[in-house]
Amino acid sequence: MTMKTVGFIGGKYLPLHRGHIYTIVRAASSVDELYVILSHNEDRDRETCEKSSFPYIPADIRLRWLHEATKEMGNVRVLSVADTTKDYDWEEGSRLIKAAINKKIDVVFSSESAYDAIFKSNYPDAKHILLDEERKIVPISATEIREEGVYAHWNDIPECVRPYFVKKVVLVGTESCGKSTLTRNLASVYNTTFVKEYGRTLCEEIGGCEGIIQKEDYPIIAYGHKMEEKEAIRKANKIVFIDTEATVTQYYSHLYNNCHQKVLDEIIAEQSYDMYLYLEPDVPWVDDGLRVHGEQYVRDENNKLLKEMFKQNNIELTVISGTYEEKLNQAIDLVDQLFREN
Ligand SMILES: NC(=O)c1ccc[n+]([C@@H]2O[C@H](COP(=O)([O-])OP(=O)(O)OC[C@H]3O[C@@H](n4cnc5c(N)ncnc54)[C@H](O)[C@@H]3O)[C@@H](O)[C@H]2O)c1
């Protein structure tokens, strides 16, 4: 019986990129069993990120990326190895890696010939195999990504990593403020995905609105909306535009059903968006057959009520106003600013 070959490849994967994926795939193709080791130490990793003003990424997030990236690769195991020193101590690190793998290691993979001597002394029985040292196949480095940001290197960010970085902009406001159209238009301009207001989808399915949506429908609306968000984020190109969130759904629950939904309070507390674009209802009322609060004084009252609900939830709003065109241009300026911030 021939012995199975065991190899490992290690890194900090801060962040995981397509170059890493290539080396993992190559390494996995040349041994029977490959261990992918995430080496991490919070203080050290934070310092590395701070040097480039890059947001620190916790190890459990990176571990999840590695698991997802290798889930179809039957001979790959992912292990998390935490070490204790702020300056990486190769001797300690190697000891911990050997203990975690707990098998004879035949091959150590990397892309750095500089690691040759280190590996020789720490893994004297293993062969060091270099994978694309010149980084010709995928010319990118994690340092470059940390320096220039993920958005400048989106094509080198693996699909399983992208959702973590997708910016989420939610459009909110009362009826007929133009948010559904603006959501779609912004998604077109930024060549990305968007999420429709799920409550509306449900209304349309039933074929009406007032008096038809019941108390029991609200949790379904909230969960349905979240699932649509998840799908849109997965497919998004750097940013996703979302029509409505749980505060607005709560507002409708008050308005139509005179009921406060606890489940929505919990969703409001959990949700996190990069920006809440609040559209003033200062464009003409459009009667789409589903709406009932058209008089201007009612629109103003409702607008006040919704703003108050955001305030009570400590949600900061970015207000945009004016014609459809003015709102579009203000929104584009604000979104561009969001990308300049990090
Ligand atoms: N003790 C050990 O035996 C051991 C071994 C390997 C790694 N480590 C840990 O990982 C760290 C070293 O890894 P790193 O900082 O280079 O991590 P990293 O996450 O930046 O990269 C991981 C590996 O992928 C390679 N790589 C990166 N971009 C590539 C590309 N575009 N094409 C081809 N290959 C590419 C790197 O050269 C490295 O070998 C150490 O500081 C240590 O924490 C420890």
Spell out, as residue ranges, where the chain has pLDDT lower than 50: none
Is 303 in contact with 281 (CB distance < 8 Å)? yes
Is 129 in contact with 30 (CB distance < 8 Å)? yes
CB 23 near ligand 1, within 6 Å: yes
The strand order across the sheet containing 318-320 reads 194-195, 239-243, 167-172, 275-279, 318-320
Q: Whose CA is nearest to atom 29 of ligand 1?
A: 19
Q: What is the whole-number distance in angstroms between the Cα of residue 112 and the centre of ligand 1?
A: 8
Tell me the ipTM for this assembly. Answer: 0.95
Q: Which residue has the tokens 């340092």?
A: 143
Domains, the chain, ordered by start: 6-156 (3.40.50.620), 166-341 (3.40.50.300)
Which of 242, 166, 133 has the alpha carbon at shortest distance from 198?
A: 242
CA distance 143 to 311: 40
CB 80 near ligand 1, within 6 Å: no
Q: What is the whole-number distance in angstroms between the Cα of residue 12 and the centre of ligand 1?
A: 7
Is 238 in contact with 167 (CB distance < 8 Å)? yes
Give the per-residue pLDDT at 136.
95
Contacts of 156 (CB under 8 A, 6+ apart): 17, 18, 19, 138, 140, 145
The ligand 1 atom nearest the CA atom of 88? 41
Give the per-residue pLDDT at 206.
78
DSSP for 23-54 reads HHHHHHHHSSEEEEEEEE-HHHHHHHHHHTTP
In Å, the largest CA–CA distance within the chain is: 85
Give the per-residue pLDDT at 268.
97
CB 93 near ligand 1, within 6 Å: yes
CA distance 225 to 219: 10
CB 96 near ligand 1, within 6 Å: no
CB 151 near ligand 1, within 6 Å: no
* DSSP-derived pairing of the beta strands 127-130 and 76-82: unpaired
pLDDT tens digits for range 63-97? 999 999 999 999 999 999 999 999 999 999 999 99
Give the per-residue pLDDT at 1.
54
Give the per-residue pLDDT at 209.
62
